[in-house]
Amino acid sequence: MAAGKGTRLKSKHPKVLHEIGGKPILAHVIATAQKVVPAQHIFVIIGHEAERVREAVAATGVNCVRHGEQRGTGHARMVAREALSGYDQIIVLSGDAPLITAETVKKLSEFHTTQRATMTLLSADLDNPHGYGRVIRKGNATDVQAIVEEKAATSKQKKVREINSGFYAFSGPALYEHIDSLSTDNAHGEYYLTDMAGIFNRARKKVVAIKTADAGEVLGSNTRAEMMMLDARLRLAKCRALLDAGVTVFYPHTCVIDSDVEVGADTVIEPFVQLLGQTKVGADCRIRSYSVITNSVIGDRVVVKPGTIMEDSRVGAGATLGPYTHMRPGSEVGEGAHLGNFVETKKIKLGKGSKANHLTYLGDAEIGDGVNIGAGTITCNYDGVNKHKTVIEDGVFVGSDSTLVAPVRLGRGSYVAAASCITDDVPADALAFGRARQSLKEGWAKATREKRRSSLVVTP
Ligand code: UD1
Ligand code: CA
């Protein structure tokens, strides 16, 4: 169920597309569902901002059912009648409760089958059950009499700590045989799916509940505060999984590591590091503080010094980055290469063992192996209209403070004198000078100083 607006978030974005652990809440729920059944048997109920939600889940191959006018959780089931008509068992997941695990969903489904129930709900004991529907049990332990929503609960019922999680298993045929008995005679004037518990009881059908071992799994994200709590839980669990896999994470609560990030054993992650999106970090690396790495691949034994920013880029084994290197999308750095302080790159290939250690911009460039780029070098890749390419072949030495005006090629083993402005190709093994020759005026400084001093003598 993902049709709701999420009024309590005060947001222009649909609730289920808000992110926790670096990806949409709904994506977590779908990933769990896909561990239980294949995508073609998963139906997402969309309504509020339906097209945005549909687009966000398109790549997974799940089906969408339009819930145009949202008249409650029961109504969401009514609009899916046709899509779900062939199914013997229907499992309902809440699109806004992302921590649910596939193991729990499987347990819910199995319990439903072994109990031969018509409706099975997943429940949980909460210390603070406020706001949730309460599970009213029958005299025996497993069977459920009804679910009572907070607003309709008596003060005695409000004391019940067992809540309805919003996850259910239904007998498909029985659900659709009885769903038209739902009414909107309640505090919100909606069709409540929860009312099916009472309806089935009156029809002498079996309604049971199974309690989660970990109540944290069913928590919903109705408010920003709840979302923040779920995010913290998910990220802490991610850090624990990394620690178990042999990664050292110092002060995990200061790091922001997204759910899909992979890190190799013996890598050390210092405080205040962010590893985001589909980032993969190899083994034996050190990622130092304040680095923010997004959708990037880092080989083994790479040292990332403080304050490095990487986006959609790749770095080979044994390379060194930072401090304060900025790798923009499409930067590929070879094995053992170095990028140092205040070096910005964009859409480049830098070969094995090549170095650009200080204050440099390299954009739209193909740079070979064993190249040395001096401090302050700039590829002038943009003429105000188009971008042009710079090619620097293997073994080139670019002196400090050079500007390379693209399109331009520096041939293999060539040498660029410091402070050159290179506008023409340089052949292999040549030396290029692109600056005015130095001229000298002997004694000029001394003479000037003396002239200034004499002009300071005040005459009466
Ligand atoms: C619901 C349950 C409550 C339970 C709680 C657990 C009902 C009446 N109450 O309350 O017993 O304790 O979940 O979190 O079901 N949705 C639609 N179409 C609609 C309305 C909602 O698709 O017309 C979707 C929402 O996007 C959401 C889910 O259904 O994903 C639950 O709706 P929500 O309004 O959050 O229900 P709760 O008030 O939390
Ligand atoms: Ca909810």
**Overall residue count recorded for the chain in this entry:** 460
Ligand closest to 217 (CA) is: 1
Q: Which residue has the tokens 């740079």?
A: 367
Residue 303, number of CB atoms within 10 A of its CB = 16
3-state secondary structure of 88: coil
Digit-coded pLDDT (tens) for 304-319: 999 999 999 999 999 9
Q: How far is the CA of 87 from the centre of ligand 1 (A)?
A: 22
User: Where residue 450 falls among pLDDT bands split at 50, 70, 90?
Assistant: very high
112 is catalytic: no
Q: How far is the CA of 256 from the centre of ligand 2 (A)?
A: 26
Q: Which residue has the tokens 């025996």?
A: 140
Ligand closest to 194 (CA) is: 1
Q: How far is the CA of 70 from the centre of ligand 1 (A)?
A: 11
Residue 305 Cα distances to 247, 269, 271, 388, 409, angstroms: 18, 11, 12, 31, 31
Going by alpha carbons, the residue nearest to atom 39 of ligand 1 is: 132
Residue 272 pLDDT: 98
Residue 5 alpha carbon, nearest atom of ligand 1: 26
Residue range 402-406: mean pLDDT, rounded: 98
Cβ atoms 75, 180 nearer than 8 A: no
Digit-coded pLDDT (tens) for 39-51: 999 999 999 999 9
Is pLDDT above 70 for 78? yes
User: Where residue 458 falls among pLDDT bands split at 50, 70, 90?
Assistant: low
Could you please report the per-residue DSSP string of 312-362?
S-EE-TT-EE-SS-EE-TTEEE-TT-EEEEEEEEEEEEE-TT-EEEEEEEE
Q: How far is the CA of 147 from the centre of ligand 2 (A)?
A: 15
Ligand closest to 163 (CA) is: 1
Residue 141 pLDDT: 75
- Token code pair at residue 61: 């191959």
User: Where residue 7 falls among pLDDT bands split at 50, 70, 90?
Assistant: confident
SS (H, E, C) 127-170: CCCCCCCEEEECCCCCEEEEEECHHHCCHHHHCCCEEEEEEEEE
User: For residue 35, with 0-12 CB atoms within 10 Å meaning exposed, 13-18 middle and 19 or more buried, which class applies?
Assistant: exposed
Residue 455 pLDDT: 82
Q: What angle do CA 39, 44, 49 make, to 5 degrees?
A: 135
Q: How far is the CA of 91 from the centre of ligand 2 (A)?
A: 17
Give the closest residue to 373 by CA, choosing from 420, 406, 332, 313. Answer: 420
Question: pTM for the full model?
Answer: 0.86
User: Where residue 6 falls among pLDDT bands split at 50, 70, 90?
Assistant: confident
Residue range 224-245: mean pLDDT, rounded: 95
Residue range 70-96: mean pLDDT, rounded: 94
Residue 95 alpha carbon, nearest atom of ligand 1: 30
Q: Which amino acid, 40?
A: Q
Is pLDDT above 90 for 4? no
Residue 1 pLDDT: 86
Going by alpha carbons, the residue nearest to atom 36 of ligand 1 is: 73
Residue 454 pLDDT: 87
Digit-coded pLDDT (tens) for 102-140: 999 999 999 999 999 999 999 999 999 998 999 999 987
Digit-coded pLDDT (tens) for 410-434: 999 999 999 999 999 999 999 999 9
In this structure, the strands spanning 297-298 and 303-304 are: unpaired
Residue 134 Cα distances to 4, 152, 157, 386, angstroms: 21, 10, 7, 64
User: Where residue 452 falls among pLDDT bands split at 50, 70, 90?
Assistant: very high
Residue range 288-299: mean pLDDT, rounded: 98
Going by alpha carbons, the residue nearest to atom 37 of ligand 1 is: 132
Residue 96 alpha carbon, nearest atom of ligand 1: 30
Q: Which amino acid, 100?
A: I
Among candidate residues 28, 67, 130, 358, the one labeled active-site is 358
User: Where residue 456 falls among pLDDT bands split at 50, 70, 90?
Assistant: confident
User: Where residue 460 falls among pLDDT bands split at 50, 70, 90?
Assistant: low
3-state secondary structure of 305: coil
Residue 459 pLDDT: 65
| Average pLDDT of every residue of the chain | 95
Q: Taken in order 70, 71, 74, 79, is the CA torsion positive or negative? A: negative
Residue range 5-19: mean pLDDT, rounded: 91
Residues with CB under 6 A from ligand 1: 1-4, 45, 47, 67, 70-73, 75-76, 94-96, 132-133, 147, 149, 163-166, 192-194, 220, 222
From CA 217, how far away is CA 238, in angstroms rounded? 15
Residue 149 alpha carbon, nearest atom of ligand 1: 11
From CA 109, how far away is CA 213, in angstroms rounded? 15
Most ligand 1 atoms within 8 A of CB, residue of 64, 73, 128, 194 to mutate: 73
Instruction: Count Cα neighbours of 27 within 13 Å in the Cβ-side half-sphere.
Output: 17
Residue 142 pLDDT: 81
Ligand closest to 95 (CA) is: 1
